[in-house]
A and B are shown apart, each in its own frame.
Chain A
Amino acid sequence: MDATKNLELEKKERPEPALRRWWTSKTMKRFRRNPLAITGALMVIGFVFIAIFAPLLTTPGRSCARDLGLSRATMQDVRNPLKPVFWRSLVLTPQSCYTIPRTTFSPIPQPPSDQAVLGTTSGGYDIYYGLIWGTRTAFLIGIFVVGVGLTVGVIMGSISGYFGGRVDMVLMRFTDVVMSVPGLVLAMVIITVLGQSIFNVMIAISLVAWPNYARVLRGDILRVKEQEYVAGARALGARGARVIFKHVIPNAIGPLVIIASLDIGSVVLTAAALSFLGLGAPLGYADWGQMISFARNWILGPPGNPWAYWYVSFWPGLIIVLFVLGWNLLGDAFRDVLDPRSQ
């Protein structure tokens, strides 16, 4: 963004001084100068838009239209901001809209056509629809897993870091135990036991992800505890819980939240891997992992035309890579910026 635009922005919206301070801070300047970071940010923003406007970018399937109260004649209303159904489809999306419409029941993938612009997978599932709506699923999975993982991690980490001693030892041994089981396998067992659904995939990955956060936070708390302002607060008579909640956690948690939120990309990758192994969303649910697992048997074409089904693996593969890449570019830049060593 160039300077004049920035000025305009200031004039028009009069951003809060805090926001401006943040935008013009040294950290953000460094960040803005990094082309990789900008690319990553743009990619993630692009996906956010796709997720939000999924209903406008696709034509609803039969059940979805039914639940939105749309008939064939009123189908276009979904793109008209003046109609209530526009807002309903965006905000109170019926669950049935996440089911990918099938253009045919044929087990053989169909090439791009008017009906399905990116082609269909085996079973006639519309690839375009699945990818667009899958963006919402991806964000849901990412945000849920990081949110729950972080919450559990913060609780465990702060208890452990603050109390220390025996509590710390028990909790840390427990995290060690959880961490010593390979994550993917533990997640697989959890999903198999809980049953297959998107929700259970999210639960399983969160249950595997939290120990990392707990450890980082604990380490930070231990460090912050030694620092002067805590000692200062103590000296002023603040005690126990007050110190930990008013001073220690807020200081330690900031970087952790950023680091964790940048894990969204890899969380989505893990969910996709589970889907690939057959543990994921129900068949036909708009989910990238499932789109990839549809592609599993269809990378190879018929003899003489080996690339005939390229669209089945290419588009979902591309979208997943772009999504994860966006987050990782962002994450890399942020880690650089936050890392005092690389100043």
Chain B
Amino acid sequence: MNQTIARFDDVTMRFAQISALQNVSATLAPGKVVALVGHNGAGKTTFLKLLLGLLRPTSGSVAVLGADPAGRNASILRRRIGFLPETVTFHGAMTGRELICFFAGLKGVAAAAAVELLSQVNLEDAGSRRVGTYSKGMRQRLGMAQALLGDPELLLLDEPTSGLDPHSRHRMYETIDALRAQGKTVVASTHALAEIESHADEVILIHGGRVLAAGTLTELRGAAALPTMAKVRLRHDAAHSMPCIDANGIEMSRPAPDRLDFRIPAGHLPSFLDILATSRSWIEDIEIEPPTLDRLYQHLLAQAEEDQ
């Protein structure tokens, strides 16, 4: 069985002066939500354009659904791919329904199915209005509707949540979760790391056109061995007595009289909790913060810069 939806094989993409991607190798497994994480200009959009076959790599090769996305049969391939561009713009004078039907036609999808998608993204009432009057969130939803045309196996979402209000973001992540449940492969580029964390199976971290790290979140966390942070607020009557937790490399600091911050090395959280249990009478509140994608990224970034 074909266990990859897409594969990058030592891909370098150079434009006139800059090289957007350098020696990138990656595989996308079917049915996974992959977060493509990096700063602006890290190479995320180039990555997606290569998957779409809109660019040909300077060297190396890209394969999508078993074929060359920029090759002869690219047109057939693109029927199986949905794409949401970073800035979704449409011809403002056309209505939402006209646009979705136009795109449906290009993809060989019946108009009825297109209108059905429009109502799935709650645009059935706005469908007869000019897209020029749509809000950013509505345009993004129309963008998502067109990406879903033809029930594609692979969805490429370029910054799907950028510029959206919290409610729209939430809905976007719901859509991504629903796609995952349907067994679709989703590649979503983002720099909103903290948000995508709980929705992604795998992460590809890109920086300066290179892949810093790739794998599941657990794998990445394990490899980076980042400490867990804990913030303990002490009861007022205990603020003057000082609990002593200084074992297994756990570091403690006291930023305020009634607060203790702990830095717990990877793997030592259980013993930390054991120690804490003995001091429970002093404790008002505990906040435990596992290493987030954000911190993981900062860590890997710092590491990469050291290496250079």
Q: Do A and B bind each other?
A: no
